[in-house]
Structures are given as structure tokens and as C-alpha cells.
């Protein structure tokens, strides 16, 4: 009788594993991401996009103007939407090892929608994450096997933090979007400016650092929250840039990282390489 119980239990476990593998293979998080992209495209179609001219740069700090000229945005179409393909390494926490990660992202400038999908493997198990900002509300979900939530962050702190990330994306991935009335600038010196961006009830600031060539070399904000011992706390956040090359006809940052800078240490949690950027896609 005992062997029968063991056999039935084994068959049950095997069947459960098969079901989990099948459900995981459905790529539900990626499907949700693609659905949200389609919804964003429907909300944000722009018929007359126009082109960036020198007159569009006149009200910007000189160092930001120089950066946009270095990137090559003058004479190019104004940006209302952009999609990214990124690979890199990601750490779930300081005591974890880096894991290879593949990232897809789509952002919409008009309503500051940001959709960020990533997939990786931890000890052979599939991990899928969807980090999204829609209608001013941000959510970050990460799922084991693309099924079971291991991270679920949302709320006012997340809404504010994600606006910092939006500003960072604009500066690095779509520099032409820095021509935006929702950003105010303060010149610090010949190589540094502070930008403040607003979205509804939220406003955040960041310090942008440039070099003599006109390249953006770092982006730092004190308005982004890290989760420490289960609590959201403001921590210095930086995204140093280590390499540039031509991407889609623009001189864009190509390699960089993101890190938390604590009082006693630094924690680099992601290293990224930008492979492709496409702008102003339309509904098929």
C-alpha cells in the first residue's frame, strides 16, 4: 500500500511540474507587456511629428545644447515614442550574483508611459519582470517561472522613483526629448546642470554631468527610493556611462550601469548594453 501512495504522490508531483513548465512557456508577462505597448500606441499616435531645429535648443543650458548637437538630434524627427533592446547583467540584491538579463522597453513621451520587460534565469529557473508607469502610477512585478510573484512594489514612492527613471531614459536613450516644457534647468557650471521634471503631482530632480566632448557621462538623483529592510528610503542613484557609439544614426550612450550610493558603500545592480533604439513606431 505504501508503494502505491508513493507512486501516486510522484505522479502528482510530475504532473504539477509539467503544468508549471507549460504555463511558464506561455510567456504571460511578455504578452502583457506587448498588450500594454499596443494600448500605448493607440493612445499616443502623433500625425505631425516635426523636426528638431536649432531654434528648439535656444532655451536650454549651453551644455545641454552641446550634448544634443553631439548626439546628432538637430534635423532629426522629434521623438514621441521610443523602443529599446538591451542586454546586460542584473542583481536581485547585494548578496546575489549577477545574472544575464534581456530587456525590452517602450516609452511614450506625451503621457510619460514607460513599459519595461526583462527576463533572466536564477539557478536555472525562469524569472520575468514587468516594470510599468501608466497614468502616473508605477508598478514593479517580478515573477518566478513567470507565474509566482517574488517582487510587487507600487505606491507613491514608486510613482516618484519611476519619474526619475523616465528622466534618465530621456537623457540617455532619447536625448531629443530633453526639449520639453515640463523640464526646468539650473546651470551649475560649464559641465553640470540640474534638471527638474514634473508629471502631475510629482516633480523630481537630477544632476547631469558632461565632459569636454559634450558627452553625458553620469546622471545622479536624490529623489529615487530603494527598498531597505522592507522600507522605501531615498538613496543617491547614479547611472555612469562608459561608452558611446552610433545607434540608429545617433551618437548614443552604449554601455553603462546603475548603482545605489549609500553612506558606507556602493551597490551596482545592473550593467547594460544598448543594442537598438527605434523611434516613433506606428500601429500596424
Closest alpha carbon to 64 in 200, 163, 206: 206
Q: Where are the domains of the chain?
A: 28-43+51-279
Chain mean position to CA 227: 17
Q: Which residue do the cell numbers 537623457 mark?
A: 171
pTM: 0.88
Q: Which three cell numbers stand for residue 154?
A: 507600487
What band does 18 get if pLDDT is binned at 50, 70 and 90? Answer: very low
Tell me the C-alpha to C-alpha distance, in Å, between residue 242 and each of 54, 172, 204, 256, 271.
Answer: 28, 12, 25, 5, 10
Arithmetic mean of pLDDT, 34-51 = 84
- In this prediction, residue 3 carries a pLDDT of 56
Is the model's pLDDT at 24 over the cut of 60? Answer: no
pLDDT in tens, 54-104: 999 999 999 999 999 999 999 999 999 999 999 999 988 888 889 999 999
Spatial separation of the C-alpha atoms in residues 4 and 275, rounded to whole Å: 55
- In this prediction, residue 170 carries a pLDDT of 96
Contact between 211 and 225 under an 8 Å Cβ cutoff? The reply is no
H helices of the chain, in order, are 2-24, 28-43, 62-71, 156-173
Q: For 158-170, b where at least 16 C-beta lie within 10 A, e where not — what string?
A: bbbbbbbbbbbbb
* 104 SS3 class: strand
Q: Which residue do the cell numbers 523630481 mark?
A: 204
CATH topology (fold) of 28-43+51-279: outer membrane lipoprotein receptor (LolB), chain A (2.50.20)
- In this prediction, residue 162 carries a pLDDT of 93
In this structure, are strands 266-279 and 250-261 parallel, antiparallel, or unpaired? antiparallel
Q: Which residue do the cell numbers 550634448 mark?
A: 67
- In this prediction, residue 1 carries a pLDDT of 52
Chain mean position to CA 50: 26
pLDDT in tens, 237-284: 999 999 999 988 899 998 999 999 998 999 999 999 998 899 988 755
Amino acid at each position: 500500500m505504501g508503494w502505491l501512495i508513493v507512486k501516486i504522490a510522484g505522479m502528482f508531483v510530475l504532473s504539477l511540474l509539467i503544468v508549471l513548465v507549460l504555463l511558464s512557456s506561455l510567456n504571460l508577462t511578455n504578452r502583457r507587456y506587448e498588450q500594454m505597448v499596443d494600448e500605448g500606441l493607440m493612445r499616443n499616435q502623433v500625425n505631425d511629428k516635426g523636426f528638431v531645429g536649432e531654434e528648439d535648443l535656444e532655451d536650454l543650458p549651453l551644455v545641454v545644447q552641446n550634448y544634443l548637437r553631439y548626439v546628432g538630434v538637430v534635423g532629426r524627427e522629434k521623438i514621441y515614442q521610443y523602443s529599446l533592446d538591451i542586454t546586460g547583467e542584473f542583481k536581485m540584491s547585494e548578496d546575489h550574483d549577477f545574472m544575464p538579463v534581456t530587456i525590452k522597453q517602450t516609452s511614450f513621451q506625451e503621457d510619460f508611459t514607460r513599459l519595461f520587460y526583462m527576463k533572466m534565469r536564477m539557478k536555472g529557473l525562469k524569472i520575468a519582470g514587468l516594470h510599468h508607469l501608466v497614468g502616473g502610477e508605477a508598478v514593479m512585478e517580478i515573477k518566478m517561472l513567470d507565474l509566482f510573484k517574488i517582487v510587487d512594489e507600487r505606491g507613491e514612492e514608486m510613482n516618484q522613483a519611476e519619474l526619475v527613471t523616465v528622466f534618465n531614459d530621456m537623457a540617455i536613450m532619447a536625448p531629443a526629448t530633453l526639449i520639453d516644457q515640463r523640464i526646468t534647468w539650473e546651470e551649475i557650471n560649464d559641465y553640470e546642470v540640474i534638471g527638474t521634471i514634473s508629471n502631475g503631482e510629482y516633480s523630481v530632480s537630477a544632476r547631469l554631468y558632461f565632459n569636454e566632448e559634450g558627452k553625458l557621462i553620469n546622471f545622479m538623483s536624490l529623489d529615487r527610493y530603494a527598498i531597505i529592510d522592507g522600507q522605501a528610503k531615498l538613496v543617491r542613484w547614479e547611472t555612469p556611462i562608459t561608452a558611446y557609439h552610433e545607434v540608429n544614426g545617433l551618437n548614443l550612450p552604449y554601455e553603462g550601469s546603475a548603482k545605489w550610493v549609500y553612506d558606507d558603500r556602493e551597490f551596482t545592480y545592473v550593467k547594460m548594453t544598448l543594442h537598438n533604439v527605434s523611434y516613433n513606431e506606428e500601429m500596424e
